[in-house]
Chains A and B, each alone.
Chain A
Amino acid sequence: MYLARAEIVSNVWKIVAREGDQVAAGDVLAVLESMKMEIPLVAQVGGHVSKILVELGQIVQEGDPIIEIDETASA
């Protein structure tokens, strides 16, 4: 399991990936808003989006897990 984590304190602006999606490394999973910047959360690995761990508008701290990816389920 790979956890895509927030790299900065921010609020969850957009959730792009859906549970069950196949994603590739480099895909944008979500967009976090901090300091008036739209900061993309990018998948570092490819796989199957197994869980969305946050809700829209939720405040997250640096290091908080946002999205879980099952790398073993890579297409």
Chain B
Amino acid sequence: MPKTDHNEVVEASAPADQRTVLTQRRTDRFARVEPKGKRVYTARERAEMLVDEGSFVEMAPMRSAGAGAGSGVVAGWGTTDGHSVVVVSHDAAVASGAIGAVMAEAIQKAQRFAIDKGYPIVYINDSGGARIHDGIFALHGCGGIFALNIEAQSRIPQISLILGPCAGAAAYSPALTDWTIMVKEQGQMFLTGPDIVKAATGEDASAEDIGGSALHTKVSGVAHLEVDNEEEAFHATRLLLSFLPTHKGGRQKRHDAVPANPHAAAALPTLVPEKSSIVFDMNKLLDGVLDNGARLELMPEHAPSILTLFARLDGHAVGVLANQPNARGGILDSKASVKAARFVEFCGRFDLPVLTFVDVPGFLPGTVEEGRGVITHGAKLLKAYVDTKSPKLTVVVRKSYGGAYIAMGSASLGAHANWAWSNSEIAVMGPGGAVALLHRRALKEAEDPTALRDELAAVYREEVARPYLAAEAGIVDDVIHPEETRDRMVAALRMLTHGSAV
């Protein structure tokens, strides 16, 4: 009697028994995928939960790395909201998801398929990194995955979920993808885990300390969204995909236009405090302009002085950048610049319109920021706007000074349409700083320097900083009332996307 690899005794040759053999083989292959630790779902269940119900098809379910175990990965395709997507789900039940030669090959096959056919790819990461026993074959396989991650950047959206401790290669591949979502107190990303860290440098640190979601979504910026559990991670992924085309040059997803939140729209004219030093919540301004519907803010806790989010305007998926006065005064610094540049660059790569809402006091100067390389990082934002060829619409809602004016999607960087609210100020620097610099001597000699400074600041505001000067020079297209913003943006967006027949 023949024996299978798995030592079940089966009858030979009878057709009915071949069905039994296949069924048994499948059961064996699947049964080995057991959840571990606090993780509840198997690799296959995760893939199935991510996509539309019943749509998941595994590409090579019988593939094995030997010894009766699976390849270490469940790769396949399905749909989200009816749109095709490729899924790679690490199988932590096989050697802790460590990437060996066979697993790497299976992942690369899925990547190749996604790139060639033009579908977004979602990587569900739960892997200890390269499989040590596979030596150079594991490293070569991981390198191949990276190379395809990079090739994919110019072709398809890539999303990474971190659902377990991900070390080495399993952390680097996500860093080469567009957006990374981590499950709190479950997913970690690090070069190497706590034991090796201790051996290498002597540092005592927990897995959460060196690679938890709190570190990566708040401090390092390595990951872009923190969620509470796997279900939320899948939901966020589907929401993210709902804003994106399937591939570069693919059709933009259109929904029915929804008016802005009526209360927020009604509040727009009085929302922004007249005094430019008083902070307010930019989200309320966005509520009064954008479609009242689905949004997804990325990196909400990292560099919060700038908001980056996907939303819709007139039913069209758009990327939104906005200074957030409520956080650190809305300044641009090194981290905010990197965050903004990355977002603009992504939008440009996938033809998403970029809407920029400006209320910025400037780039934060000083020793700390210069030491962080704010010049280099700020320059990345300039480059991202110039390189982006998708529709760029910009509105200055209160103040926009100096290099930060230029960096926030200005006309000089190729804004296709731009406006300024009637009470806004655009200048090389704010009235306080400018007056102190321009009238240093007069202020020094004045009997009442405070009164003179206020007087000069008022003159500066009128003669130098008012947006009418910019509009008369054609640098700002028009000066508008706050309540006109949505209509102006919608009209421009229709024109720029050939979408006038909505």
Query: Which positions in A face B, CB cutoff 8 Å?
Result: 7-9, 33-40, 61-62
Contacts and interface: CB of A to CB of B under 8 A. Distances in A.
A16 to B, nearest CB: 15
13 contacts: A7-B327, A8-B328, A8-B331, A9-B364, A33-B277, A34-B328, A34-B329, A34-B364, A35-B331, A36-B430, A36-B433, A38-B279, A39-B279
Contact of B277 (A8, A9, A36): A36
Contacts of B327: 7
A17 to B, nearest CB: 18
Interface residues of B, number: 18
Nearest to B277: A38
Contacts of A8: 328-329, 331, 364
B361 A35 contact: yes
- The B interface, classified by DSSP as helix, strand, loop or mixed, is loop
A39 to B, nearest CB: 5
A9 B329 contact: no
B432 interface: yes
A33 B329 CA distance: 9
Nearest to B361: A35
B330 A37 contact: yes
Contacts of B279: 37-40
Nearest to A38: B277
A40 B325 CA distance: 11
Contacts of A37: 277, 279, 325, 329-331, 361
Given A8-B331, A40-B279, A35 B364 contact: yes
A36 B368 contact: no
Nearest to A8: B328
Contacts of A35: 329, 331, 361-362, 364
Nearest to A40: B279
Contacts of B430: 36
A9 B368 contact: yes
Contacts of A7: 327-328
Contacts of B330: 37
